[in-house]
């Protein structure tokens, strides 16, 4: 057996562990995003960028989950390109799904893929609603204290 074959076999055995580690890492970042938004005293550009980054990271969690499903249960998604480009297709599918665009070019075949997609979409919608409620609530509360609008939107002190 060549070194490359040994390495690829060992990597495939480690893949589920790496995916779990990636999901845990990304979830810990999402928790930090919620904490930063919840404890913010004012809504500034840093908080707006934090909310955007949280949404991007949520998409990355979905991508890792969908990639794990496709690797462990091939043909769970119809419409993926053959070869290595299916990774790009799953990345595209993740963000098209959480943005609720869904063109229908990639469809779900297995029940596991359907359930994972529903879970990711529910979480992303929940994230959007909760984060928007926190940001708008803090904006209105800060505006009520008599601060100028310019101070709320920018980092000008």
Question: Is residue 107 classed as helix, strand or coil in its secondary structure?
Answer: strand
If one compares 150 and 122, the residue with the highest pLDDT of the two is 122
Mean pLDDT (the chain) is 82
- The distance of Cα 140 from the centroid of its chain, to the nearest Å, equals 28
Q: pLDDT tens-digit profile of 51-99?
A: 999 999 999 999 989 988 988 899 999 999 887 688 889 999 999 999 9
Under the banding of pLDDT at 50, 70 and 90, the label for residue 147 is low
What's the average model confidence in pLDDT over 8-36? 76
The whole-number pLDDT of residue 10 equals 47
Confidence of residue 115 (pLDDT cuts 50, 70, 90): very high
More confident position, 125 or 150: 125
Mean pLDDT of 1-7: 46
């Amino acid at each position: 057996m060549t070194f490359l074959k040994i390495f690829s076999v060992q990597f495939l055995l480690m893949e589920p562990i790496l995916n779990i580690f990636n999901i845990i890492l990304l979830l810990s970042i999402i928790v930090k995003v919620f904490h930063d938004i919840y404890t913010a005293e004012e809504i500034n550009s840093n908080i707006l960028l934090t909310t955007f980054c949280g949404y991007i990271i949520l998409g990355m969690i979905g991508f890792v989950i969908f990639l794990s499903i496709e690797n462990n249960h091939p043909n769970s998604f119809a419409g993926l390109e053959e070869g290595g480009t299916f990774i790009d297709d799953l990345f595209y599918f993740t963000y098209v799904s959480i943005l609720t665009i869904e063109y229908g070019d990639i469809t779900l075949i297995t029940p596991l893929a359907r359930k994972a997609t529903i879970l990711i979409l529910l979480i992303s919608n929940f994230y959007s609603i909760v984060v928007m409620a926190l940001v708008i609530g803090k904006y209105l509360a800060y505006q009520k204290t008599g601060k100028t609008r310019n101070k709320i939107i920018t980092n000008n002190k």
